[in-house]
Structure 1
Amino acid sequence: MPAHFCLRSGRQALNDKGTVSDWMHTWIAQKRHQWKNGRLAYSTLYGYEKDKRLYIDPKIGHIRLDRLNLDDLIEMFNRIQDDNDRIEANNADRATNRARAKEIHNKPTGRKKAEWMRLEAELAAMPPYRRPVGPSSQHSILRTLRASLNRALKTPGKLKFNPPPTTTWRR
């Protein structure tokens, strides 16, 4: 059954064991449909797509939707924090090299010009400046993921909430 038919008819394929990325793609297609009908702001849709493309797909997109658990989400945010540490270190190296190149460029002489050109070549080879993912952006990623997973729980055949078995219930 084609995906667009399933989306419009509300039916899901039987035995769907899709990944988080597959589900997010379907969910964002539904959100895009809401945007076209005027029920969703473009900035909201753009935020969902950005969170999916930059963080959710690369970090947990390969995991089957029915096997996603809390440890996977904790690992995703730990990897985002590790990326932040690398980004900050790269930015600091870049700023240091930029300051040294600027200092040398102000007083060019024969030997210093060669060093300035070497520093410029190092700057060109370094990764570009990037902003780290702050707490508000991490909260936005979690909000996007929560919204999509809540929709997956409400979609028949996608996910089932199965609380752990208990012998007694507290009152």
Structure 2
Amino acid sequence: MLKKYEDATFDTLKVYSGDDLGSESYPFRGRLLDRDDIRLFPSEFVQQLEYDSGFFACYKFHLDSSRYGLITRTPSEYEPSSIKLFVLDKKKGVITYYYELAESIGDAGDVSNRTSWLFRQPNGFGCFTWDEELHYNSVENENDTSIQRWDYFRLASFNKRSVDTFHLDEGKAKRQFGHFLTR
């Protein structure tokens, strides 16, 4: 399975869900995984394969000397648009936990986008995540072209046992990570 993941080295990696998931230019297109490939994943993912075969190996990188980070595109509500970081313990050969890095869903005037930036820290890797939620009021009233918007920010650190997450208020998030938020 690991051979299907492309090796990645980076100081900062922007992870996002795209509109054209099958495009050759989409960096998280990945290589299709089959049932044997995902046997290391948590059981809820193996069971999901029975009705959705959209698991794609994207990138692997060393989180530290004993763990790999496996960036994998997985099924979501309508298509395989969720991108998760699975943490593989190299010695035990098991996935110890996972974290959703990116997702994009839209339905009936509601849009939800999750974008993350993985970045190298002195003691491993961290992750800044931006959840952007939009509601297009024109769905209820075609004359109302206004859009409601909510932004949520998290900071995550990947330690040996799990992921530690901290919610950031918008001001602190923009001061500390505003350079990521420019489009």
When normalised by structure 1's length, the TM-score is 0.28
When normalised by structure 2's length, the TM-score is 0.27
Identify which of structures 1 and 2 has the higher relative contact order when contacts are C-alpha pairs closer than 8 Å and 6+ apart. 1
- Kindly indicate which of the two structures has a greater share of residues assigned to strand: 2
Structure (1 or 2) with the larger CA radius of gyration:
1
- Kindly indicate which of the two structures has a greater share of residues assigned to helix: 1
